[in-house]
Every structure is written in C-alpha cells, then in structure tokens.
Amino acid sequence: MIEINLLPKEYHKRSFDFSLGKAGLYVIGGAVGVMIMLVAITFYQKHQLTELDNNIARAQRRAAMLQKDIQLVEGLESVKAKITERMAAVDKLDRHRTVWVQILADVARNVPEFVWLAKFSEEAAPVPAGDSTAGPATMAVVRPARIEGYAFTLNALAAFMINTMRSDYFDNVELVSTNEVKFDKYAAFNFVLSLDVHLLADQQTRTSVAQVNTDKSKKDKTTSHKSLN
C-alpha cells in the first residue's frame, strides 16, 4: 500500500532527532572533566588522611617511648637533687667540723644538774656576721639556733641559761617558751631557748692555730737565746 502525504512540509510528522552540537559536546566534556577532577581530589584527600593517620600512629609510638625517657630523666634529676642536698649537708658539716665538736662539748659542760637536753638545731636563716674589723683570723660566722630540753626546777633552767650566756660560742640567749609537763609522778619544765652560735671556719681555725704556733715558736727561741746569753 502506497501512502502519499500531501500536507506541507511544516505539517509533516517529525521523528525524534536529538542533536547536541558543538556547545553540548563542550558542556559534556567539561562535566566529565569536573567529575574526574573531583574523583582525583577525593582519592588524594583519602591518601592524605591515610598518611596523617600513619604519622599520628608513629607520633603516638614515639611519645610512648619518650615518656619512658622522660620518667627516667625525672628520676635521675630527683636522685641528683637528693645527692646534691646530701653533699651540701656533708660539706656544711665538714666546713665547721672541728668547731661543732667544740660547741657540743661546751654545751655539755654548760648543762647543770636537773637539766637534760632533747634537741639542738641550727636555724636555716643565717644572721649577718658582726664586727669584721678584727681580721680573718678572729672573724666569726654567726647562725641562729635553738635548744630544747627539760628541767626539774626553774633554778636549774636559769643556771643553764647563765652558763650558756657566759660561753664564747653563744650570744643573744633568750627563753622562747616553757611548759610544765609530767613524767610519771614527777613534774618538769619543757623549755626552748633561742640563741646565736658563733662558728669559726676551719681555714680560719688553722690560720689561728698556725699563728699561735708561730708566736709560741718565736717566744721559745727568744727565751732559749736569752738563757744562752
């Protein structure tokens, strides 16, 4: 069967004809390029995140290792501080070793009957030295100290204070406190004295001793020379 369409061309039934043209191709190409770029950026960022996670893990492991080192260093610093403190204490005792023996012996001589001592402590804050015009051989280092003890009578305590005041090693002896205490059936007085202790350095002591020996030697030679004449 033959069909003849006599309608004008503009009225003819058109079939679906899709044509993008050059502009459409450019648009599609640009969209594809953008998608590829987004995919590439996504993969790059995932790679960066993976690298960051790995770096964080390494940093955490390194921090754990360093923490042990830090604890070791802190322990060594603590040991060093204790050793330094002990060395300072030993140096302090050694610096006035001979003088402390004399001071404690003098304290023991000053203790009368009915008095016994419980504590002799040197205070931390030093007292400035007094007159330094006498020369290095006689210049004393003065430090505050405290004496704590017990006395059965106030007269015995007063005698101990007087003996301490008369000592060449102590000045500014003052009664800080006194309290009555009980020992079984006996009453006693707990007392605390504050005083200044005169310490003479070992070097100064050696200088003084050397000077005394020199003077004694010269005196002996003079006496011997006069006796020969």
Q: How confident is the model at residue 145 (pLDDT cuts 50, 70, 90)?
A: very high
Q: What is the pLDDT of residue 139?
A: 44
Cα torsion angle, 74, 78, 83, 89, sign = positive
In this structure, is residue 103 part of a structural domain? Answer: no
In the predicted model, is pLDDT for residue 190 greater than 80? yes
In the predicted model, is pLDDT for residue 179 greater than 90? yes
- State how many domains the chain has: 2
Q: Are 191 and 150 in contact (CB under 8 A)?
A: yes
Q: How confident is the model at residue 15 (pLDDT cuts 50, 70, 90)?
A: low
Mean pLDDT within 34-63: 87
Most confident of 36-40, 106-110, 211-215: 106-110
Write down the pTM of the prediction: 0.47
In the predicted model, is pLDDT for residue 13 greater than 80? no
In this structure, is residue 228 part of a structural domain? Answer: no
In this structure, is residue 18 part of a structural domain? Answer: no
Kindly state the tokens that stand for 43: 């993969």
**Model pLDDT for residues 94-119, shown as the tens digit of each residue:** 766 778 888 889 999 999 999 999 99
Residue 196 is part of a domain; what is its CATH number? 3.30.70
In the chain, pLDDT over 70 holds for what percent of residues?
A: 68
Tell me the C-alpha distance between 217 and 219, whole Å: 5
Regarding whether 44 and 143 lie in a shared domain, the answer is no
From residue 30, give the alpha-carbon distance in Å to each of 21, 38, 75, 137. Answer: 14, 12, 66, 101
Which domain covers residue 135, as residue numbers? 113-223
